[in-house]
Structure 1
Amino acid sequence: MSTLFKNLRIHQIFGSNTDVGKTILTTALVKASVTKNIPVFYLKPVSTGPPEDADDGHIKRYTKPGLVHTDCLFRYDEPVSPHLAAKMKAAGGARPEIPSDQTVVNSIANRIRQYAARSQKYAHAYMETAGGVHSPSLSGTTQADCYRPLFLPTVLIGDSRLGGISSTISSYESLILRGYIIDAVLLFRDDYYSNWEYLEPYFAEKGIRLSAIDPPPTRLPDPATDRLCVQKYYNDLTTDSTSTGINAITDHLDQCHTKRLDELASMPRRTFNTIWWPFVQHGLVKTEEDVTVIDSAHSDFFSVYRSQDQTGGAQSPATSLLAPEFDGSASWWTQTVGHAHPSLTLAAARASGRYGHVMFPQATHLPALNLAESLVHNGPGKGWASRAFFTDNGSTGMEVALKMALRAYTSRNNVTESDKKRLGVIGLNGSYHGDTIGAMDACAEGVYSCEWHDAKGFWFDPPSIGIIDSKPSITLTPALHSLVGEQVLPAPSLSWIYDIQSRLRTPLARVYQDYIREQLEKLEERGQKFGALVLEPLLMGAGGMIFVDPLFQRVMVDVARSRKNEKDTPPAWSGIPVIFDEVFVGLHRIGMESTGPLLGTYPDISVNAKILTGGLVPLAVTLASESIFEVFLGDNKATALLHGHSYTAHALGCEVANETLKLIDSLKTTPGWQAAQASWSDDVSSPCQVWSFWDPGFVQAVSNLPHVASAMALGSVFAIRLKSGSDSGYVSMSAQAMFEPLKRLIPSANELSAAPSGAPYTTHYRTLGDVAYFMTSLNTQPAVVRSIEDKIWGVLQSP
């Protein structure tokens, strides 16, 4: 990840094209620093071509050796693009493996840390890339993407030639789309094309400094004379005291560095003064050091600011003020392929540039239409849904689902106007469907409620699944315990627990059925009417990462659909409507696209969000069956679904969702997924129904620890429930206290090979009372997961 040192100001030099003068202008910057007696480090990560023509050699030739240190990390003799040079060398056996992007980035980051360690006083560093912004790296990845984890402030070298205005602006936009900070644009002053005259106001509007530098002299045939001429050129540049000269640019870059340091240092205080955080008790946030300042994010990691006090102050010049921190909650369960994924960013830009936002009623556009067709015909709605309704987020998607279900119920039953207001839902204690009022009313009274909350319905206490002392187990509620005679039922395997078709024939299924039916009959005898069954299938997130016994939920659906309607019911729909809230669990968060196939039954209405858009923008889709849709058909507008949002089906969100679904499809066949699925298979002769990216041996080992009540993992989710006394539930601070050391650097056997830039990292995490949970993206590298497991184990093993 990004590094930032108080005493080392570093800039990355990108070119808008090949042969635009990157090395010449970088040399001028180095010379300007040297004239101020500032030590300079020059780094060329990849060099191709004859050694005598290498860029680092040019720097050495025209700068002062005592103050300038040059490095080249990967050198190839062939004068071709880096990816071709690497292929040629690999084919010749000279270097059998082509260095990966991570190898290149780690090598650069390590070298920068070495520079910082040597910079007892203020120093400058410049890293010069090869070719243009999108010239390939050694692996073939575009440079703009390869170097993005480093997130270094950038100087863009513009193109002064014919067509250079376009290439310069295109390069700038490519870097901006990837989040780069561009501190300055330099190009040669060419009085014929005068590109600088056009580009200067263009960049000034964006707050970016542009300087036009005199071009170098024409190359002379005599090498010695040519060298003297070039030396004079550099000397003249560094004696230029004008506001547009190279000296002024180095001053400007220093100012940008200082401004960034000052801004980061001020953010905690400014945040204390203006921000009201969600789900945070401000009274417990005592110091500015408790504020996580996120400077950038990439892949599974934040780049967070650490003050001088936190890093050891002046005694630690080699310690970066920015440090990697693993995003342990996948940013509230949203991340699909990590932060700042270029494919998603470009998808957002593509739709934003084509549409902006357009209103949606009685209209259509390709991003929305393609997404609706994908979800209905090939995605979670396949086989049961016929319609897709768009909203802003999971909570609003659930509001729509409730509206659909309750209207459908009242249309099939003789419900008075007064009874309509008193219709309730059936659900599970611990469920959570969002923070809008209607979604809150579909949950039991709890910590997420507000003054207007009016819990409308009945919520069963659910039996739960977990690994206890290495054994998959079903833990029954007190009411079910009294009927069965045992509280914890050991199971042969997790696959057996989730084999619903087989378990439907067990005595426990009959107990569940009789218990649910009896409870509902008692409630109905007292006049309670229910208009919908609302479930978070398999895993209830905000309620405490409760892995619900899937058999109990399947029986709930069967019982709900066995209820009698007072009017004729077509075959497609019976009993009360069933809603699956798959905002959290859907689209492979827990290892499956949708929970319907595993449960062996499908909802009438379901909601997807979060993973849907890869964590980039908010969007939700409520899927509905045709029989639900038909309830709202008619020739009277008042009977339509009169619900919507200004940004319904916004093209940007829909296009990002389409790209996310493509990326997920490509991940399903990757070695990481296949290896994880195989590791969880109980029977090698058949595919495992449930699996996780977390190692099964690790989960079992955690479940054996004396202070752990249970552990459980599905897909990207791993949850640990701690043993606790009276201090339990959401308001407990036990898990928060237990895992506090993760905010510090905990050694891990896999850490340096897994972490971005090969740096030690901390872990950002969220807890739910006495439950700690950790979450990966769907493409988190196995080495990263193993490293996180090491850190968690280290905390749990501490006295």
Structure 2
Amino acid sequence: MSLLFKHLRVHQIFGANTDVGKTVFATALSIASKNAGHQVFYLKPVSTGAPEDADDLKIRRFAQSGVNADCLFRFSEPVSPYLAVRMEGVSPNTLPTDKTFVNAISSHIKTCAGTTTKASHMYVETAGGVHSPTLLGTSQADCYRPLFLPTILVGDSKLGGISSTISAYESLVLRGYIIDSILLFKDPYYLNHEYLVPYFAERNVVVHAVDPPPSLTGNAAEDERTTAEYYASIASTHGSSVLSQAISSLDSAHAKRIEELESMPSRSLQSIWWPFVQHGAISGPSEITPIDSAHSDFFSIYKPGDASSSSVLSPQLDGSSSWWTQAVGHANPRLTLAAARAAGRYGHVMFPKNAHLPALKLAETLVAGPGRDWASRAFFSDNGSTGMEVAIKMALRDYGVRSGSWTQHRKKSLGIIGLKGSYHGDTMGAMDACEEGVYTCEWHNAKGFWFDPPTVGKKADKVTITQPSALGGDSVVFEHLQEAYDVSKRMDSELATRYREYIHTTLSKLAENKTHDLAALVLEPLVMGAGGMIFVDPLFQRILIDTVRLPTGLSPFPVRLPVIFDEVFVGLHRLGMESTSPLLGTTPDISCHAKILTGGLLPLAITLTSERVFQAFNSTDKADALLHGHSYTAHPIGCEVANETLAIIGELKESKNWKDAQGRWTPEKKWSFFDEVNGTTAPPPTVWSLWDPGFVGELSKMDSVEEVMALGTVFVVKLKATDAGYLSNLAESTFLPLREATTTNPGDLGSVAPGRAPYSVHFRTLGNVAYFMTSLNTEAEVIRDLEDRIWGVLTSSRT
């Protein structure tokens, strides 16, 4: 991830186009920094063209001593790096990956930082323009982004340069780059600088313009002399010189960034009220973690090093997927551009009785996706909790309409059926759909009945379904996860019969009790998240659904109850499946989707509903309408980002990473998704995980572990505890060592390659339960390394 040193100021130099003077400015800045008494480093990661014309050699020639200039990769053809490697016949298999390439740059910067303790400057010069392709064809703006180095943009002083400079600036801004300065030449004819100085002043970016270098005459000695004189004139340390001012502003920007990071913890304690945090238990600023940036699966956090040569920024793995929102990694450029695309086209527009393409496309996609074969409408809201409030309103109206006439009193006494440990959000209506617990508040009024469900977990490498005391408290054991989740096959089992009798008897007794008219079934399918990452036996949920839908005369209720699936957490492939409906073998009447929906970029929720539920509100009377909404309903930015997220997920479903993981979880072919004998690809298993089944099985055998489970991106460890529950501190204290930066390969200096660099892990716990969650596109090597670290922590805790 990003590097930031107190004593070494590093700036990356991008160009608005090719041939705009990047190397001239890099040379002049290096000389000016040297003249100001700083040690100077220069790096050209990729050089193309004749070796004698290489930029790092020019730096050495004109800066002479005092500037350490280097290049990492050289190619002789004077073209784009991407084209140079092809023209020279370099095999793609021998080229460094983008990760390796960026790692090499990071390692070089670290080495330079370690060679000096005095105030130093470093300049990293890119090739061509902002989007010129790197060795593998990736845009430079995207390839270099993990480094997150503050940037100097060299503007274009030629015809069309105003446009190319602004375009380059906006491309970098869209990717989050910090642009500390824009440099360009003065052109006496086009005068681009006269336009760009005030233009960027309005954006708080300083533009420095200098006279261009003298034209070359063809006389090598003369050109060498006049060029040296040119550098001496513009790189003067005189306070009024342009480059002296530029150096000063770059130094100030560097110092300000560090100062802000240092002050953020104490300032935050004075002005922020964090959710789910007991402020009285915070001992001081040292407990607050400033996040400087984020990229892919990692935060870049401020953590001052012990030595002056250490970076004050450290990578930290986002082990909770930022409260379950991340789908395709932080700062994904496709999502950023989707947001910008919609913001530029629409901003926000009023939604009732209007339509815009992002919302229409999203509604159609979700109705045809997770709503396949049952949903007809999509209702937009702003987050999962309000999406569930909408779902409950829909369900209760549906029940009321189909139950005949209702007095006002009976409408107010409607309740729901759910499961103990459920959680549907922190708004009042969502809280009322849960029993009393740690998440509820003084005004909470639990309305309904909640079953204590049987749960699924892996114990001693066996898939075990543990029954609550009401069902006998015994266990049912399966050899493979696939068997436990084969609901259709288990429907005729003895356990299914026991579930039916228990559920029907319980609901019949409740129906006789008129404290609440039970009017809807609300479920978190398969996994109840905030309640403790409880994996519920899917057979129990299926039979519960079937029971509330029994025909009149057989049902405990006068009419069929509407069923709500809260898929805010589990939906859209979080558990390896688009929706839980196919696994359960039945569909809801209403479902709610959020979190993964927008890839973790911004809030949006969709409540899908059947046509029957929609018709319960459909009349000519305005009072019958669903009178619920917020000002930003179906905001185009969120809708467009959601559409792009779903498109990326569609690609991931066919990725090698997913297919390899699915193959590992196939019982008959534990390690191979591809059938090499028949040359065919087997269908993916019903349930699978990006986490390794061998790791999951071995961890389940540990004495300190009660059970483990993994589905899709989710891995959960439940520790044996005498004080089990949300308020327990066991999981937090056990896994605390993960918050310290460590590496499984301490000899590697790489700063961004997961598994090689020292990095810490950010994670969340629920009492004696620790959960870890990946993005949908987290690389296998990242997960394998995290598995090693989890294993190491639990192994160490035994000694």
TM-score normalised according to structure 1 size = 0.96
Q: 1:437 & 1:96 partners in 2: Cα distance?
A: 57
Q: 2:133 & 2:105 partners in 1: Cα distance?
A: 17
In structure 2, do the counterparts of structure 1 residues 449 and 244 end up closer, same or farther at CA, with 3 Å as the change threshold? Answer: farther
Q: 2:258 & 2:351 partners in 1: Cα distance?
A: 44
1:381 aligns with 2:408: no
Once the 2 structures are TM-superposed, how far is the Cα of residue 248 of structure 1 from its aligned partner?
Answer: 1.2
1:706 aligns with 2:696: no
Q: CA RMSD in A?
A: 1.7
Once the 2 structures are TM-superposed, how far is the Cα of residue 161 of structure 1 from its aligned partner?
Answer: 0.5
Aligned twin of 1:461: 452
1:555 aligns with 2:555: no
Once the 2 structures are TM-superposed, how far is the Cα of residue 383 of structure 1 from its aligned partner?
Answer: 0.8
| Contact 1:716–1:778 under 8 Å retained in 2 | yes
| Contact 2:107–2:749 under 8 Å retained in 1 | no
Aligned twin of 2:432: 441
Aligned twin of 1:254: 251
Aligned twin of 1:217: 214
Q: 1:196 & 1:30 partners in 2: Cα distance?
A: 23
1:59 aligns with 2:44: no
1:127 aligns with 2:124: yes
Residue number among 519, 523, 531 corresponding to 2:510 in the alignment: 523
Q: 1:642 & 1:566 partners in 2: Cα distance?
A: 35
Q: 1:756 & 1:86 partners in 2: Cα distance?
A: 24
Instruction: Render the CA deviation track for 1:651-703: whole Å, top value 9, x for unaligned.
Output: 00000000000000000111110000000111337642100000001011111
1:72 aligns with 2:81: no
1:534 aligns with 2:519: no
Letter matched to residue 364 of structure 2: E
Letter matched to residue 760 of structure 2: T
Aligned twin of 1:324: 315
In structure 2, do the counterparts of structure 1 residues 92 and 793 end up closer, same or farther at CA, with 3 Å as the change threshold? Answer: closer
Q: 1:542 & 1:509 partners in 2: Cα distance?
A: 27
Residue 399 of structure 1 aligns to a residue whose secondary structure is helix
Residue 603 of structure 1 aligns to a residue whose secondary structure is coil
Q: 1:754 & 1:643 partners in 2: Cα distance?
A: 52
| Contact 1:114–1:318 under 8 Å retained in 2 | no
Residue number among 613, 625, 631 corresponding to 1:640 in the alignment: 625
Instruction: Render the CA deviation track for 1:455-495: whole Å, top value 9, x for unaligned.
Output: 000000111000001111001101112xxxx5222113110
Instruction: Render the CA deviation track for 1:184-236: whole Å, top value 9, x for unaligned.
Output: 00000112111111100111111111110110001022101110100000001
Residue 708 of structure 2 aligns to a residue whose secondary structure is strand
| Contact 2:741–2:760 under 8 Å retained in 1 | yes
| Contact 2:234–2:241 under 8 Å retained in 1 | no
1:7 aligns with 2:15: no
Aligned twin of 1:772: 770
| Contact 1:134–1:144 under 8 Å retained in 2 | yes
Aligned twin of 2:402: 412
Letter matched to residue 641 of structure 1: L
| Contact 2:399–2:561 under 8 Å retained in 1 | yes
Residue 398 of structure 2 aligns to a residue whose secondary structure is helix
Aligned twin of 1:187: 184
Residue 11 of structure 1 aligns to a residue whose secondary structure is strand
Letter matched to residue 492 of structure 2: R
| Contact 2:746–2:758 under 8 Å retained in 1 | no
The within-5 A match list for 1:423-442 is 423-442=414-433
Aligned twin of 2:610: 625
| Contact 2:403–2:559 under 8 Å retained in 1 | no
Q: 2:559 & 2:577 partners in 1: Cα distance?
A: 27
Residue number among 127, 149, 152 corresponding to 2:149 in the alignment: 152
1:364 aligns with 2:355: yes
Q: 1:652 & 1:565 partners in 2: Cα distance?
A: 49
Residue 367 of structure 1 aligns to a residue whose secondary structure is helix
In structure 2, do the counterparts of structure 1 residues 764 and 751 end up closer, same or farther at CA, with 3 Å as the change threshold? Answer: farther
Larger displacement relative to structure 2 (52-61 or 238-247): 238-247
Once the 2 structures are TM-superposed, how far is the Cα of residue 243 of structure 1 from its aligned partner?
Answer: 4.2
Aligned twin of 1:48: 48
| Contact 1:11–1:127 under 8 Å retained in 2 | yes
Q: 1:109 & 1:551 partners in 2: Cα distance?
A: 51
Aligned twin of 1:788: 786
Residue 756 of structure 1 aligns to a residue whose secondary structure is coil
Q: 2:339 & 2:20 partners in 1: Cα distance?
A: 31
The within-5 A match list for 1:293-692 is 293-307=290-304, 311-312=305-306, 316-377=307-368, 379-414=369-404, 415-481=406-472, 487-527=474-514, 528-562=516-550, 564=552, 575-684=560-669, 687-692=684-689
Letter matched to residue 37 of structure 1: G
1:746 aligns with 2:736: no
Equivalent residue pairs, number:
780
Aligned twin of 2:725: 729
Q: 1:216 & 1:734 partners in 2: Cα distance?
A: 66
Instruction: Render the CA deviation track for 1:535-558: whole Å, top value 9, x for unaligned.
Output: 000000000000000000000100
Residue 94 of structure 2 aligns to a residue whose secondary structure is coil
Once the 2 structures are TM-superposed, how far is the Cα of residue 566 of structure 1 from its aligned partner?
Answer: 13
The within-5 A match list for 1:158-177 is 158-177=155-174
TM-score normalised according to structure 2 size = 0.96
| Contact 1:565–1:574 under 8 Å retained in 2 | no
Letter matched to residue 62 of structure 1: F
Letter matched to residue 607 of structure 2: T
Letter matched to residue 324 of structure 1: P
Aligned twin of 1:715: 712
Percent of residue pairs identical? 58
Once the 2 structures are TM-superposed, how far is the Cα of residue 564 of structure 1 from its aligned partner?
Answer: 3.4
Q: 1:30 & 1:686 partners in 2: Cα distance?
A: 59
Aligned twin of 2:84: 85
| Contact 1:34–1:64 under 8 Å retained in 2 | no
Residue 230 of structure 1 aligns to a residue whose secondary structure is helix
Q: 1:700 & 1:755 partners in 2: Cα distance?
A: 32
Once the 2 structures are TM-superposed, how far is the Cα of residue 318 of structure 1 from its aligned partner?
Answer: 2.9
Q: 1:755 & 1:747 partners in 2: Cα distance?
A: 11
In structure 2, do the counterparts of structure 1 residues 232 and 754 end up closer, same or farther at CA, with 3 Å as the change threshold? Answer: closer
Letter matched to residue 483 of structure 2: W
| Contact 1:750–1:786 under 8 Å retained in 2 | no
Residue 353 of structure 1 aligns to a residue whose secondary structure is helix
Once the 2 structures are TM-superposed, how far is the Cα of residue 517 of structure 1 from its aligned partner?
Answer: 1.0
Aligned twin of 2:673: none
Larger displacement relative to structure 2 (489-498 or 159-168): 489-498
Aligned twin of 1:142: 139
In structure 2, do the counterparts of structure 1 residues 439 and 452 end up closer, same or farther at CA, with 3 Å as the change threshold? Answer: same
In structure 2, do the counterparts of structure 1 residues 195 and 549 end up closer, same or farther at CA, with 3 Å as the change threshold? Answer: same
Structure 1 residue runs without a partner (length 5+): none
